[in-house]
Amino acid sequence: MKVLITGGSGQVGFELRRQLATLGEIVAPNRAALDLLDADAVDTFLAQQQPDLIVNAAAYTAVDNAETDLEAATRLNAELPAQLAAYCQQRGGWLVHYSSDYVYNGEGDTPWQEGDATGPCNAYGATKLAGDEAVAKSGCQHLIFRTSWVYSAHGKSFLSTMLRLGADRSALSVVSDQIGAPTPARLIALVTQQALTKLYGTQLQTATASGIESGVYHLAPKGATSWHGFACEIFQLASNLGLPLEITPEGVSAIPTSDYPTPAVRPLNSRLGVDKIEQALGIQLPSWQSQLALTVEEIASSR
């Protein structure tokens, strides 16, 4: 089986290439090999490669820039998933697509469930929702994994930014009224691998009727915190492992979102209920704290 991973150089794509390597022939073109902004180039690539399964980790993730760079955000977050879904529907193959907590309106304080009404509060969320809807309407067999606050030991993320700033500064102010679950790319790739194994078997041969059902699933660790809590935990773990820091958790001040204005409105409630994915795969997702500890350990061991 040939598996196409789009966005293979990103945080999630990097982990997917590692996690899915033993399950089939992996094709993961970089930007030079395939410009995903070019719909004709994507059609040509699909016709030439004819993948049996597509795992779409490509996305426009610059939330603030999406407010003004709407054409590119729409192409990557909405039109590309629709294009890949159309290919999968025609061939009878599956599409794995990654979405976001930003498709919800961010109100309240209870975890969002997959069947809840959507209502994005910014352009990024609107383009991600458009992609979800296009995949669902295509008729292709699909797994849409909505996740939150993605980070990893590789590439740019809130984690890498905090470690960089904390190495030079003894004080930082971080938003404390936005609540969600920091999700490592490693966990996203691992759960994806578990879902595909349940669907296709260990060697990704033919999809079985006993596999996971087509649809939307939330994918995040258990528990929730604020960006402030996330930052404090990062600095505590990094300090314990001897990473170079000027800051301590006590040096992180908690501020409201109103004190940190951004071009794009941020949802205050990014909690995601994960019962559906746990039941479908027969798993128990780990806590966000344990997953962060693993990632910081990975960073420390690489230095």
- Strand order through the sheet with 2-6: 25-27, 2-6, 53-56, 94-100, 141-147, 215-218
Residue 255: exposed, middle, or buried by beta-carbon count in 10 A (0-12, 13-18, 19+)? middle
Catalytic residue among 60, 98, 124, 217: 124
Q: How far is CA 163 from the centre of its chain?
A: 21
3-state secondary structure of 109: coil
> What is the phi/psi pair of residue 3, to 5°?
-115, 120
How is residue 79 written in tokens? 């039109």
Q: Which of 144, 190, 159 is nearest to 284 (CA)?
A: 190
DSSP letter, residue 77: I
| Residue whose structure tokens are 């040509």 | 44
- Asked if 200 is an active-site residue, the reply is no
How is residue 24 written in tokens? 């089939």
Q: Which residues are catalytic?
A: 124
